[in-house]
Amino acid sequence: MKLFVSLFCLSALLTGADAKRHRLVIWSIDGFAAGYLTNPQFQESAVWRRLLRRGKVFAPVETTIPSVTYPAHTAMVTGSETAAHQLYSNHPVDPFNLSKDGWTWYSEDIKTKPLWDIVREQGKSAANIMWPVTMLPAGRIRYHIPQFDRAKGPEELKMMRVLTTPGLHREIEIHARAALNEHVGDAERIRAGKYIWHKKKPDLMLLYNPGLDTIEHGNGAYSAPAFAHLDFLGRELEQFLRETEKHKSRERTAVLLVSDHGFMTFRGKCHPNAILKNMGYIEPAKQRWTYAFDTAGGVARLVPHGQAPDFKTREFSELLTQQCPDIEVITRDHEDFPRLRRGFDAKAKLFLVGRANVLMSAAWNKEVFLPDATGHTHGFLPDRPDMQTLAIAFTPDRKSPVKITRTKDTFRFACSWLKLRCPRGKN
């Protein structure tokens, strides 16, 4: 009898714990490299020391091919490699700039099923605070603020009010003091996220902070401004975790802190499309092109257009070798070709890979190689240590439902924590 009572009580306790509503925030800090964890100055940060003790840390985490923002964030919400979700780069292949400096904003280009659709179809609610590649009909996400950029000033705000869930943008302006557009800082995005989380109570919230990445492009990773901004983000995260604990009797909240890539300093810039122009594949006078390279920092894929003739691989390879150091041509007989087909583009017949610190740019109207060009960037192969990133799971018991070794594992974490029936295969 005592055994029966004990088992009954245990069953009741487990049922009660499992009955609590599970909620999840996927909080992205763009450009949060794994190298910060071993950096002495970062290790001196009091707030991050507390956060690292509090959460389950995964590092290094390998990102996508290419290691840039939009493909990586799409992998997080689909669980698929770039070759499957087919959001290949931050920018469309657009040699003559017909998109007027457009980015790959539109979710219709994603070929695998994203989390927001899975959540909605299974009766749960999602919120989006300017996550990359979320230009979509507002009804697909219950509380929706897309990432989009076409202007600055009052006109941009008017546009965002139209694109956002009806009434939500104005509500956030009033109650969270955040007039959201692409040019606002992380502080405004976080205020908006906190307001939506506590007021609207979504099951899933996607929150995107690009501020660190912006600083790193200008100043480099591990710079004084980067450390200062990470301290700010750490304080905001810690405060949010305290706020969620107030509701732990009614719900189980997890915060998964993620990032998309590391950072490095490039020296030298190669323009492979300038070679294609010289070979006649890009014809500016006729506004016509048959081949162009989709470049993303340290990797590129050759993209055909229209009725493209056979590509002169040998001629191109000789010209590239002569003019751009440390850039390797990858064709079918190269050992890296299968990996690039699986991870980057399943149909491409030729890739370029930077093996050192030379950056590739898509411009065709520049010198083929600029040896003195330098700056801070990413986009190289994801197994390079300087491209690797991290993840930290904050759960009530400091346990993670999945082990995160790649950015796409974010998807499996969300499916497990929110008890979703998620597709397999390409996802």
Q: Is 401 in a helix, a strand, or coil? A: coil
Angle, nearest 10°, between helix axes 211-219 and 224-245? 170
Rounded to a whole number, what is the distance in angstroms from the first to the last CA of the chain? 49
pLDDT of residue 340: 98
136 contacts 206 by C-beta, under 8 angstroms: no
Buried b (16+ CB within 10 A) or exposed e, 393-424: bbbeeeebebebebbbbbbbbbbbbbebebee
**Longest alpha-carbon distance in the chain:** 90
How remote is the C-alpha of 261 from its chain's centroid? Answer: 8
The domains located in the chain, with CATH, are 21-262+383-417 (3.40.720.10), 264-377 (3.30.1360)
Q: How are beta strands 56-61 and 351-354 bridged, if at all? A: unpaired
Q: Count CA atoms within 13 Å of residue 311 on its CB side.
A: 20
Give the chain's radius of gyration (CA, Å): 23
- Closest of 348, 339, 329 to residue 381, by C-alpha: 339
Q: How are beta strands 126-129 and 143-145 bridged, if at all? A: parallel
- List pLDDT tens digits, range 7-61: 444 444 444 545 689 999 999 999 999 999 999 999 999 999 999 999 999 999 9
Quote the pTM value. 0.94
In the predicted model, residues of the chain with pLDDT beneath 70 are 1-19, 425-426
Angular region, 37: left φ>0, alpha ψ -120 to 50, beta rest: alpha
How remote is the C-alpha of 52 from its chain's centroid? Answer: 22
Amino acid identity, position 83: A
- List pLDDT tens digits, range 305-336: 999 999 999 999 999 999 999 999 999 999 99
Euclidean distance between CA atoms 141 and 134, whole angstroms: 9
- What is the sign, positive or negative, of the torsion defined by CA atoms of 376, 380, 386, 390? positive
